[in-house]
Amino acid sequence: MNRTSKTEDDKLYLFEHGGTTGAVIRILPDSSRSLNEMLPEAFQQQPDHQLSLAYTCCYLNHRDRHVLIDSGIDGDEVASALSELGIAAADIELICITHVDRDHVAGLLLQIGDGELTYPHAKYAIDAELWGELHKPETYESLPKHLSRLFQRLQELIEDRVILCDGETEVAKGITFIPTPGHRPGHAAYEFATDDTPILHIGDAALQPQWIEHLDWPVVGDSDPEQARQSRKMILERAEETLALVIGTHLPWPGILA
Ligand SMILES: [Zn+2]
């Protein structure tokens, strides 16, 4: 992989792998969390230490197709980062949604949680069951107001453009949706075939490298910690087998496994 980065706190991190070019886009400043805050009682470590979580989404030019993995929080900001790369928001053809937490999907709309589509010509890959859940009134009732408004608005705007994925699904040529539920229901990773080894975006399946070293560790805050642990193990074993270039939303900046 050739990496061309400017400085540590750049908003964009450009890379190339097997003929696919890409950019990790910072959507928020890093946040610092204590390791033990993210581990249940039985797994506490001595000494504790601070972890640095990045907040990112990712752009790929995959076989001449403009693809985004998640959309960040602020549609305008991500669109302006893309324009620095010479890509108009209207050029984005596919958005691979890993899950529907606010920091991953709010940027699909131009005003946070409302407004028009940031990427008016895109198709949207998402877990079929998760998309179904988002249509249920009880889902809306359980969500904070800004999120229920966001999902209702998204339904109005993209219903005819979602690519519903049920199990492992090829969402476009050489782009595979891989179910990795647990962090959230319907969480997915995406694998991109390249001329070299694949690029694998794992979303929030592993938040920090410590959970890649310790596959038995759960994460406080995962919706289903045991299922998340199984998904993490499965996707990381797959990465090891395929020698994939692994990208994760919250891995230390720039979010690419060394
Ligand atoms: Zn996240």
Distance in Å, CA 18 to ligand 1 centroid: 27
Helix, strand, or coil here: 150? helix
Domain extent at residue 28: 2-178
> Ligand 1 centroid to 150 CA: how many Å?
17
Q: Residue 256: inside a domain, yes or no?
A: no
Residue 200 lies in a domain: no
Cα 180 to ligand 1 centroid, rounded to whole Å: 14
Cα(17) to centroid(ligand 1), Å = 24
> Is 121 a member of any domain?
yes
Residue 254 lies in a domain: no
Quick check: is 105 in a domain? yes
| CA–CA distance, 123 with 164 (Å, rounded to integer) | 10
Distance 190 CA to ligand 1 centre (A): 15
CA nearest neighbour of 36 among 177, 180, 220, 187: 220
User: Residue 109: which CATH number?
Assistant: 3.60.15.10
Answer whether 0.85 is exceeded by the pTM.
yes
In the reported structure, the alpha carbon of residue 184 is separated from the centroid of ligand 1 by a whole-number distance in angstroms of 10
Averages of pLDDT over each 10 residues, the chain, 258 residues: 52 96 96 96 95 97 97 95 96 98 94 84 98 89 85 93 98 98 97 98 97 95 96 98 98 92
| H-state helical runs in 85-144 | 102-105, 128-133, 137-142
Ligand 1 centre and the CA of 156: distance in Å? 24
133 alpha carbon – ligand 1 mean position (Å)? 19
- Tens of pLDDT, residue by residue over 170-203, are 999 999 999 999 999 999 999 999 999 999 999 9
How many whole angstroms from 85 Cα to the centroid of ligand 1? Answer: 24
With respect to residue 163, please indicate whether it lies within any of the assigned structural domains: yes
What residues contact 102, with CB distance under 8 A and at least 6 apart? 73, 146, 147, 150
Is 47 within a domain? yes
What's 203's DSSP letter?
T
The total of structural domains in the chain comes to 1
Task: Please identify which residue in the block is written with the tokens 């797994």.
Answer: 43
Q: 250 C-alpha vs ligand 1 centroid, how far in Å?
A: 6
Q: State the distance from the centre of ligand 1 to the C-alpha of 45, rounded, in angstroms.
A: 23
Please give the distance, rounded to the nearest whole angstrom, from the Cα atom of residue 3 to the centre of ligand 1.
24
Q: In this predicted structure, what is the pLDDT of residue 196?
A: 97
CA of 19 to the centre of ligand 1 (A): 28
Say if 210 falls within a structural domain.
no
Find tokens 């038995």 and name the residue. 216
